Amino acid sequence: MTDETSNADELLGNPLESSTDTSSVHETPDDSETGDSARQQRRVPRVLIEWLIIILIAITSAFLIRSFVVQTFYIPSGSMEPTLLVGDRIVVSKLSLDFGDIHRGDILVFRRPPNENCGGAPVNDLVKRVIGLPGDHLSSRGNTIYVNGHALAEKWPHNEPLGGDIGNVVVPANSYFMMGDNHPNSCDSRSWGPIKRSYVVGRVIMRIWPLSHVTLF
């Protein structure tokens, strides 16, 4: 009896100890897996929030740069040939208006004047070159432009003949007389007069397309 009891205790005791050991072995991975799963669940929303913040910053930065620093434009017509050709893409600096002056010979992008009547599909923005500054007296004879009685030396590429006469124009304060480099085929201030400074979007600083004709102005 003693032996049987002892044997019985041994038989019953060993499985119990084994079960306890087995249980203890499995409890640790379960806790670890639960912890890892919780951490992963917390990590996913954090990653999403970080990406949303990055995207928001990128969009805001792009908007601010486009609104206040630089903007790109597409050339749809030949009025600025041979300087700018149809299909060219240009970069316009808006800061140049805030931290610098507009000079004769600068190429500007400006909003379409309300009295622009050149026909064709309406556009929101135009690109031309500054010929007259505030207070200038402009006139023309033949293919020569006169500024304050002196012949203007056009040191930039341009097409002749002049085309339409300038007449006798005194450029108002805070305004600019604009012309296309393709003189005979440009609808410009000769048709709709000087533009106000408030219409100017910015100064053309670079052609970025096509890559074979990248140019700084």
Report the alpha-carbon distance of residue 33 to residue 46 in Å, rounded: 20
Residues whose CB falls within 8 Å of the CB of residue 35, separated by 6 or more in sequence, listed in order:
none
Q: Residue 97, exposed/middle/buried by CB under 10 A (0-12, 13-18, 19+)?
A: middle
Choose, from 79, 93, 175, 186, the residue flagged as catalytic. 79
Report the alpha-carbon distance of residue 36 to residue 33 in Å, rounded: 5
DSSP annotation string for 117-145: ---SS--SEEEEEEEE-TT-EEEEETTEE
Report the alpha-carbon distance of residue 208 to residue 59 in Å, rounded: 22
Alpha helices (runs of H) in 69-150, residue ranges in sequence order: 95-99
Strands (E), 57-111: 70-74, 89-93, 107-111
The number of beta carbons lying within 10 Å of the beta carbon of residue 209 is 15
Report the alpha-carbon distance of residue 41 to residue 8 in Å, rounded: 49
Choose, from 128, 140, 175, 189, the residue flagged as catalytic. 128
109 neighbors 101 (Cβ within 8 angstroms): no
Tell me, yes or no, if 79 is annotated catalytic. Answer: yes
Residues with catalytic function:
79, 128
